[in-house]
């Protein structure tokens, strides 16, 4: 009898688990974001921003939400490390791509890498949230400006080269930008300050809802 009730209890209280990838250029604020998420959602505080250095490899973290556990993988964004990202694509259920909205000099590089992520076939269909980080910085671009700079970059790229080779991230072959065009139209962009924690809860709410919805879509009809 104990086993029966224990099994029922386990079934009723079980939590679904999802993997969330945190991507973006080095210095975009990925680890600061992850540690802030831990501080806001867990009982044990995340690492203080002063103690965070460049990531070589990956950092992980997990938070528990109603009926759901989100596992985060924060991957190092330095150029030499980006070639490893695709190894995590097959198992991910959502992507948060961070852009440093206060660093205009690296926007083009950030969009190039973002474009590579978007055009990866394994990411197709996975909820993807663009986070315009460092909104606390005085010269930071707004969400709307960030969106415009991406569209501007994308138009420039497609005027100069209608067919582009797939990235070191995406694998081999060619793409025409159709997937990017589709995703760009429905792209969600949110402004955050990973340092101050503003907008972080809203970003997690977005991910939580989207992974639940995409899971429901994947379930076979009875």
Ligand X SMILES: Nc1nc2c(ncn2[C@@H]2O[C@H](COP(=O)(O)OP(=O)(O)OP(=O)(O)O)[C@@H](O)[C@H]2O)c(=O)[nH]1
Closer residue to ligand X, CB minimum distance, 41 or 157: 41
Judge whether 24 is annotated as a binding position: yes
Contact flag: residue 133 with Mg ion (CB under 5 A): no
Q: Which residues bind ligand X (CB under 6 A)?
A: 24, 26-32, 49, 52, 54-55, 76-78, 133-134, 136-137, 193-195
Q: Is 77 annotated as a binding residue?
A: yes
Taking the complex as a whole, the smallest distance from the CB of residue 81 to Mg ion amounts, in Å, to 10
Contact flags string 27-46 toward Mg ion, x per CB under 5 A: ---xx---------------
Q: Which residues pair with 98 in a beta bridge?
A: 24, 131
Q: Is 46 annotated as a binding residue?
A: no
Residue number with CB closer to ligand X (119 or 140): 140
C-beta closer to ligand X: residue 58 or 94? 58
Q: Rounded to the nearest whole angstrom, what is the least distance from the CB of residue 30 to Mg ion in the complex?
A: 5
All residues at 6 or more sequence positions from 193 whose CB lies less than 8 Å from its CB, including other chains: 133, 134, 135, 136, 199
In whole angstroms, the minimum distance from the beta carbon of 71 to Mg ion comes to 17
């Amino acid at each position: 009898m104990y086993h029966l009730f224990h099994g029922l209890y386990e079934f009723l209280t079980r939590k679904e688990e999802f993997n969330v990838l945190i991507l973006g250029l080095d210095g975009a604020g990925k680890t600061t974001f992850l540690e802030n998420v831990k501080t806001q959602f867990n009982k044990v505080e995340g690492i203080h921003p002063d103690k965070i250095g460049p990531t070589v490899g990956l950092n992980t973290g997990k938070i528990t939400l109603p009926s759901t556990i989100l596992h985060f993988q924060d991957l190092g964004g330095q150029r030499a490390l980006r070639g490893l990202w695709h190894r995590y694509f097959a198992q991910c259920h959502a992507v948060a791509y961070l852009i440093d909205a206060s660093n205009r000099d690296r926007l083009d590089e950030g969009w190039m890498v973002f474009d590579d992520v978007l055009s990866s076939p394994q990411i197709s269909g996975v909820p993807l949230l663009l986070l315009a980080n460092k909104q606390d910085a005085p010269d930071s671009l707004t969400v709307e400006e960030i969106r415009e700079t991406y569209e501007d970059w994308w138009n420039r790229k497609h005027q100069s080269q209608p067919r582009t080779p797939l990235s070191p991230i995406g694998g081999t072959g060619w793409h025409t930008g159709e997937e990017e065009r589709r995703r760009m139209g429905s792209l969600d962009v949110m402004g955050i300050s990973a340092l101050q924690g503003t907008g972080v809860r809203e970003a997690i709410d977005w991910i939580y809802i989207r992974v639940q919805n995409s899971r429901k879509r994947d379930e076979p009809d009875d």
